[in-house]
Amino acid sequence: MIYLILASMVLVLIPLNKVLAVAVCPVCTVAAGAALGLSRYLGVDDTITGVWIGALMVSLVVLTIRWLDKKKIKFYFRKILVVLIYYLSLIIPLYKLDFVGIKNNTFCGIDKLIFGILAGTFGIWIGAFMHKELKKKNNDKVYFPFQPVVVAILPLIIFSVILYFATK
């Protein structure tokens, strides 16, 4: 099951670098775990927390790939490896710390946190694609200030609201 999830993430993220045109950080995993713990304490569902963690992972992947490009560091399967390293460095510790794999903590048959991470990964990709298309239609110019941020976050907010009501 986890292999299917990781393969889905890889397939979604490979074209992301083209849409959007640092090394692995264990602090990010700790921060995600702390945020998850705090969100659970505050009563936020794991699917919603996962949406934002998934978006964070995509951002880290894209920043890392850009950094590698800037430093002219090239190797086979670079993008796939970056995706796998980031997602595995997040999911494996969360699994070992019992944040993932909790019995009866599922949505649509998938662990709620994993489902949210997939939704966030897909959501940020949708936002990046929408931003690119909007710029293309406007002679490669943004329609309004902070368009990249607003358009990227909008699907995450929509997914969070949908998941809020779907998990109630």
Does pTM surpass 0.85? Answer: no
What are the CA-CA distances from residue 84 to residues 13, 35, 57, 72 (Å)?
10, 22, 11, 20
Which tens digit of pLDDT belongs to each residue from 39-70? 878 888 999 999 989 988 988 898 899 899 99
Which tens digit of pLDDT belongs to each residue from 101-115? 888 999 999 999 999
CB 67 within 8 A of CB 34: no
| Mean pLDDT, the chain, integer | 82
Residue 136: band (very low, low, confident or very high) from pLDDT cuts 50, 70, 90: very high
Residue 5 has pLDDT above 90, yes or no: no
Residue 19 has pLDDT above 50, yes or no: no
Residue 76, judged by CB atoms within 10 A of its CB (0-12, 13-18, 19+), counts as exposed
Q: What is the dihedral of CA 119, 86, 28, 46, to 10 degrees?
A: 30
- Full residue range of the structural domain in which residue 38 is found: 2-166
Residue 131 has pLDDT above 70, yes or no: yes
Which tens digit of pLDDT belongs to each residue from 72-99? 999 999 999 999 999 999 999 988 988 8
Give the total number of structural domains in the chain: 1
CA distance 85 to 23: 10
